[in-house]
C-alpha cells in the first residue's frame, strides 16, 4: 500500500484516486481544489486525508451541475479533514458501505451529505459540520450508521433525515434549521430501531424531533425553543422518550398522535407554549410516568376523548393550565395514579 501526496506527486485529487490501488492513502496539502472527486467501486478502502490544522478546501462551481464534492461509490473509504463548500449538489454523496467521514465541514452546498438508497449502510460520521446548506444537512439511507458529535445548523430544510434503522445519533447539535431538526422517516415494517442520545436540538423552525419510525429511543437530549412540537410522534409505536429536557417549544413538548406502547418517562417538560404531553384520539396503551411538568401554557398532560388504556402515573405537576386534562370519556378510560399536583399558580 502506497502514499500519494497532492499536489506534490500529482496535481489533483482525482489524479491521485486514478493512480491509487485499494487501501492506499492520499494526503492532500492545504489549498483550494476546484474539482469533483469520484472514488469508484474498484477503489475500496482508500484513505483521503487533509491536514487538520489547515484543512484543504474542495470548492464547487455551480449548484445545477449535479456533481458532488466527494462521490463515494467504493466500500470502506475514509475521508478526513476537508472543507467542502459552494457549488456542489451534495457536499459528499455515498453509495458505498462502511465508509467513514471524519472532521469535515460542508457548507453552502445544495445539500450537505447524502447517503443514497444504494448504500448498504454501516457508515460512520464523526465530528462533521453541515451548516448553511440550501437543503438538508445530512440524509441517511441504509441501516447501521453512526452519527457522532456532528453539527447540522442553519440548513434550509431538515438538519438530519434518517430513512432506515439501527442508526445511532450521539452527542450531536441539530439546531437553527428551517425545518425539523431530526426527521425519522416512516416505518418500513422491518424490525429496526434508532437511538438519539445526548443531543442538543433547539430553535428549529418546525419540530425538534419528528418520528415516523417505531422503536426510536430518545434519551438525555435537550429539545428546546423549536417553533412547533419538541418531539412529534405520529402513526408509530414503541418509541421511548426518556430523561430529556423538553422546554420552551412553541407547541406541545411531546405530541403522541395515533400511536401505542410509546413511553414518556423521567423527563423535565417545562414552559412549553402548548401542552406538556398530548395524546391523540387514537393513542392507546401509552405510558407517561415519573415526569416533571412545570408551567406549560396549556395542560401538563392532555388526553383527547377517544384515547384509551393509557397510563399517567407518578408525575409531578406545577402551574400548568390545567395540570391534567382528559376529555370525557378519556377521564374514565385511562389510568391516573400517584400524580402530585401543586395548585395552579398561573
Q: Is 265 exposed, middle or buried (CB count within 10 Å of its CB: 0-12, 13-18, 19+)? A: middle
Name the more confident of 66 and 152: 152
Lowest-confidence range among 52-61, 134-143, 327-336, 337-346?
337-346
> For the chain, first and last CA: distance in Å?
70
Rounded Cα gap, residues 121 and 96, in angstroms: 8
Q: Which helix (H) or strand (E) holds 14?
A: helix 13-19
Predicted local confidence at residue 346, as pLDDT: 47
Residue 248 pLDDT level (bands cut at 50, 70, 90) = very high
CA distance 29 to 298: 57
Residue 218 pLDDT level (bands cut at 50, 70, 90): very high
b/e string for 16-46 if b means 16 or more Cβ within 10 A?
A: bbeebeeebbbbbeeeebebbbbbeeebbbb
Each residue's pLDDT tens digit, 179-197: 999 999 865 556 578 999 9
As a whole number, the mean pLDDT across the chain is 95
Grid coordinates in use for 74? 467504493
Give residue 65's pLDDT: 58
Residue-wise pLDDT tens digits, 269-324: 999 999 999 999 889 999 999 999 999 999 999 999 999 999 999 999 999 999 99
Q: For the segment 74-84, what is each residue's pLDDT rounded down to a tens digit?
A: 999 999 999 99
Q: pLDDT (tens digit, 9 = 90+) per residue, 31-64?
A: 999 999 999 999 999 999 999 999 999 999 766 6
Helix (H, G, I), strand (E, B) or coil at 262: coil
- Tell me, what's the pLDDT at 189? 54
Tell me what percent of the residues of the chain surpass a pLDDT of 70: 96
Which has the closest alpha carbon to 79: 55, 51, 100? 100
Interval 82-126: pLDDT, tens: 999 988 999 999 999 999 999 999 999 999 999 999 999 899 999
Is the peptide bond between 7 and the residue preceding it cis, with omega within 30 degrees of 0? yes
pTM: 0.95
Half-sphere exposure of residue 343: CA atoms within 13 angstroms, side-chain side: 1
Amino acid at each position: 500500500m502506497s502514499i500519494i501526496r497532492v499536489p506534490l506527486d500529482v496535481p489533483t485529487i482525482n489524479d491521485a484516486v486514478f493512480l491509487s490501488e485499494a487501501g492506499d492513502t492520499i494526503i492532500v496539502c492545504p489549498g483550494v481544489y476546484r474539482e469533483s472527486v469520484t472514488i469508484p467501486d474498484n477503489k475500496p478502502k482508500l484513505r483521503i486525508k487533509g491536514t487538520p490544522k489547515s484543512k484543504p478546501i474542495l470548492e464547487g462551481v455551480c449548484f445545477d451541475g449535479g456533481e458532488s464534492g466527494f462521490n463515494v461509490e467504493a466500500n470502506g473509504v475514509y475521508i478526513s479533514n476537508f472543507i467542502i463548500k459552494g457549488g456542489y449538489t451534495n457536499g459528499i454523496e455515498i453509495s458505498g458501505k462502511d465508509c467513514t467521514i471524519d472532521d469535515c465541514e460542508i457548507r453552502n452546498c445544495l445539500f450537505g451529505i447524502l447517503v443514497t438508497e444504494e448504500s448498504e449502510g454501516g457508515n460512520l460520521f464523526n465530528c462533521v459540520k453541515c451548516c448553511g446548506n440550501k437543503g438538508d444537512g445530512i440524509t441517511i439511507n441504509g441501516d447501521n450508521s453512526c452519527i457522532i458529535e456532528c453539527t447540522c445548523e442553519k440548513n434550509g430544510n431538515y438538519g438530519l433525515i434518517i430513512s432506515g434503522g439501527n442508526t445511532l445519533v450521539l452527542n450531536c447539535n441539530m439546531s437553527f434549521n428551517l425545518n425539523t431538526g431530526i426527521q425519522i422517516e416512516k416505518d418500513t415494517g422491518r424490525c429496526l430501531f434508532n437511538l438519539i442520545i445526548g443531543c442538543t436540538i433547539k430553535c428549529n423552525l418546525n419540530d425538534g424531533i419528528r418520528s415516523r419510525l417505531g422503536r426510536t429511543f430518545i434519551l438525555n437530549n435537550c429539545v428546546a425553543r423549536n417553533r412547533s412540537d419538541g418531539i412529534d410522534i405520529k402513526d408509530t409505536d414503541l418509541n421511548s422518550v426518556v430523561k430529556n429536557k423538553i422546554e420552551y417549544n412553541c407547541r406541545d413538548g411531546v405530541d403522541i398522535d395515533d400511536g401505542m406502547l410509546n413511553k414518556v418517562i423521567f423527563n423535565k417538560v417545562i414552559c412549553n407554549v402548548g401542552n406538556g404531553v398530548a395524546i391523540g384520539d387514537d393513542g392507546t396503551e401509552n405510558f407517561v410516568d415519573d415526569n416533571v411538568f412545570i408551567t406549560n401554557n396549556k395542560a401538563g398532560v392532555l388526553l383527547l376523548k377517544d384515547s384509551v388504556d393509557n397510563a399517567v402515573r407518578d408525575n409531578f405537576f406545577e402551574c400548568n393550565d390545567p395540570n391534567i386534562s382528559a376529555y370525557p370519556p378519556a377521564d374514565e378510560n385511562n389510568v391516573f395514579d400517584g400524580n402530585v399536583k401543586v395548585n395552579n399558580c398561573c
